[in-house]
Structure 1
Amino acid sequence: MDLYLPIANLSVNAFVIVALGLGVGLLSGMFGVGGGFLTTPLLIVYGIPPTVAAASAASQVTGASVSGVFAHLRRDGVDIKMGMVLVFGGVLGSFAGAGLFTLLQARGLIDTVIAILYVLMLGSIGGLMLYESIYSMRAARAGIAPRPRRKRHHPLVAMLPLRWRFYRSGLYISPLAPVILGFLTGILTMLLGVGGGFILVPAMIYLLGMGTAVVVGTSLFQILFVTAWATMVHATTTKAVDIVLAALLLLGSVVGAQLGARFASKAKPEQLRLALAVIVLVVAIRMLLGLAWRPDEIYSVELL
């Protein structure tokens, strides 16, 4: 069934978009990631303009994060104070990202920049995940127990002034650290349409020193508000949000997330991370080919 997307200005098969959202939701439920970092590149590969794909994916991530936030709030897995500081930085970052988005769009570079950023980001993340998963699987086979991680924030964070107590996270650090982290995530959200959880979660653990019990819930809290704000900024400035596209994606991702959560309980974590690493690297390679591949015939339209 073909459906016209008013902002993207093209017709798509609605079932394909729903299936794409279903697949991303399945990965989200299985691997514990937001899935936004795969939604945009997959939409681009399908033929959606990168600007519309990034803006619409942000709105889809917003809807997909709501249920996760409430689930973590019920089990007291959210540091509200830390989350609000991250949201403050994210809102500031979204303004900076909107300005950068508009500047690149005016110069005709936004599509290329989005594609290049995704190739670099997915390639590095996929490579690190592949290395970590293979190392963990080899260690498990050899019977080597993983060394416990010391809960300690990074020395650079310790150097920052103005310390606050974040009781739920058990931290006494400067609020400037989560503000900067949120700021960078806000820029990524505006440019790439991602929630940023795949960067935010490890940064909260290894840079801020947060405990794993509150990391995921606090990350989702920040993602919910920042992606909602980024969607509003996109809708009023770049006008690239296609609500029809976002609704189709959300429809598939909600169902896929529930199925993925069931599948995840039947597989080993190392195997899941390995599978996700391979998927991420395949998408990165496909986008790299899209940037570097030169067609055999190049056509141009000229006015006579």
Structure 2
Amino acid sequence: MTIYLPIAEMSVDVFLILLMGGGVGFLSGLFGVGGGFLMTPLLIFIGISPAVAVATEANQIVAASVSGVLAHMRRRNVDFKMGTVLTAGGFAGSGLGVLIFTFLREIGQVDLVVQLSYVVFLGIVGFLMLFESARAIFKNRAGTATRGKLHQHTWLHGLPFKMRFRRSRLYISALLPLGIGFFVGILAAIMGVGGGFLMVPAMIYLLGMPTAVVVGTSLFQIIFVTANVTFLQAINNQTVDVVLALLLLTGAVVGAQIGTKASGRLRGEELRGLLALMVLGVSAKIGVELVSTPEDVYSINETPGFGL
């Protein structure tokens, strides 16, 4: 069963889109990420233009995140104060990101920048997370694991404007989560992601938040930042495909609930390791697509009468 997407200007299989939405929604609930780092490339792989994929994917991220947050709220695994500060930075960053996206689209470089961003950021974050989680797993199996915090105190923790985040058991400068939210907001607008693949590691390693609280808090922040991205993209670029968004939303809501239940059965380092493998896999796939020869190779031939 196929359906026509008016903005993407192509027909797609309805069940394929529903399955994609459900699968990414499952990952959203499992890892505390919006799932855009996976869904946006998948949409591009099936033929949807990067501009439409980036703008439309934000809708699916919102739905999956709302569903996931509701489940985590029942477990009291959401730090609303931390999430609010992250959201404030994310709003500013996403506004700037949409302006950058619009500029790149006008000069015809948005496709290249989006794909390169995925390769670079996903590759770096995935490698670092995989290294850390593998080390933690080996230490646990060897019986040498310690209960120390994952983050190290640096000059960043000496910044002013300190706030107490009781749910996360932290007393740190508000500038840290504001800065993280701002940077992730920019990427959310340019790459069509919720930013969880960067937000989750930053919350664990830079802020020092407990893994159990990180997942729900990350999803809480993602809701508002990606909703803002959707609104701004629709106004500035008119690239949000409502039909595609509704199909993705339907699958995402169901998948997120299932993923949230599954997350409680895995240890923190195991969750980080699985997320790292997913991130590296997507990065590798996009990298191969960038350097491989396309199936349809176009060439410019001299037209008689116009050559030298």
Secondary structure of 1:77 counterpart: coil
Secondary structure of 1:173 counterpart: strand
Structure 2: runs of 5 or more not aligned = none
2:53 aligned with 1:53: yes
User: Cα 1:180–1:270, aligned 2, differ >3 Å: closer, same or farther?
Assistant: closer
Secondary structure of 1:149 counterpart: coil
Cα distance in structure 1, aligned partners of 2:297 and 2:106: 25
Aligned residue type for 1:244 = V
Report the counterpart of residue 183 of structure 1 in structure 2.
Answer: 182
Q: Is the 8 A contact 1:153 1:208 kept in 2?
A: no
Secondary structure of 1:3 counterpart: strand
TM-score calculated relative to the size of structure 2: 0.86
Cα distance in structure 2, aligned partners of 1:77 and 1:268: 15
2:173 aligned with 1:155: no
State the identity %. 51
Q: Is the 8 A contact 2:26 2:256 kept in 1?
A: yes
Cα distance in structure 1, aligned partners of 2:275 and 2:137: 14
Report the counterpart of residue 91 of structure 1 in structure 2.
Answer: 91
Aligned residue type for 2:53 = A
User: Cα 1:263–1:301, aligned 2, differ >3 Å: closer, same or farther?
Assistant: farther
User: Cα 1:155–1:234, aligned 2, differ >3 Å: closer, same or farther?
Assistant: same
Aligned residue type for 2:218 = S
Cα distance in structure 1, aligned partners of 2:167 and 2:262: 31
User: Cα 1:101–1:75, aligned 2, differ >3 Å: closer, same or farther?
Assistant: same
Q: Is the 8 A contact 1:85 1:179 kept in 2?
A: yes
Q: Any idea what the Cα deviations from partners look like across 1:53-111, whole Å, max 9, x if unmatched?
A: 11111111101111222333344333322222211111110111011111111111111
User: Cα 1:274–1:204, aligned 2, differ >3 Å: closer, same or farther?
Assistant: closer
Q: Is the 8 A contact 1:78 1:218 kept in 2?
A: yes
Moved more, 2-11 or 74-83: 74-83
Moved more, 253-262 or 86-95: 253-262
User: Cα 1:89–1:256, aligned 2, differ >3 Å: closer, same or farther?
Assistant: same
Aligned residue type for 1:96 = L
Moved more, 163-172 or 132-141: 132-141
Secondary structure of 2:3 counterpart: strand
TM-score calculated relative to the size of structure 1: 0.87
Cα distance in structure 2, aligned partners of 1:266 and 1:87: 29
2:98 aligned with 1:115: no
Cα distance in structure 2, aligned partners of 1:89 and 1:257: 25
Cα distance in structure 1, aligned partners of 2:210 and 2:294: 50
Moved more, 50-59 or 285-294: 285-294
2:22 aligned with 1:12: no
Secondary structure of 1:298 counterpart: coil
Q: Is the 8 A contact 2:129 2:201 kept in 1?
A: no
Report the counterpart of residue 76 of structure 2 in structure 1.
Answer: 76
Report the counterpart of residue 67 of structure 1 in structure 2.
Answer: 67
- Superposed, 1:1-304 pairs within 5 Å as 1-141=1-141, 143-150=142-149, 154-261=153-260, 274-295=273-294, 298-299=297-298
Cα distance in structure 1, aligned partners of 2:295 and 2:151: 55
Secondary structure of 1:4 counterpart: strand
Give the length in aligned residue pairs.
303
Aligned residue type for 1:209 = G
Secondary structure of 2:194 counterpart: coil
Cα distance in structure 1, aligned partners of 2:294 and 2:20: 26
Secondary structure of 2:286 counterpart: helix
Cα distance in structure 2, aligned partners of 1:278 and 1:155: 28
CA RMSD of the aligned region, Å? 2.8
Q: Any idea what the Cα deviations from partners look like across 1:133-171, whole Å, max 9, x if unmatched?
A: 443454454x23322223767423223222233333333
Q: Is the 8 A contact 1:42 1:283 kept in 2?
A: no
Cα distance in structure 2, aligned partners of 1:52 and 1:32: 24
Cα distance in structure 2, aligned partners of 1:61 and 1:129: 22
Cα distance in structure 1, aligned partners of 2:20 and 2:171: 42
Aligned residue type for 1:78 = V
Secondary structure of 2:34 counterpart: coil
Cα distance in structure 2, aligned partners of 1:168 and 1:180: 20
Cα distance in structure 1, aligned partners of 2:295 and 2:212: 53
Moved more, 116-125 or 221-230: 116-125
Cα distance in structure 2, aligned partners of 1:274 and 1:174: 29
Structure 1: runs of 5 or more not aligned = none
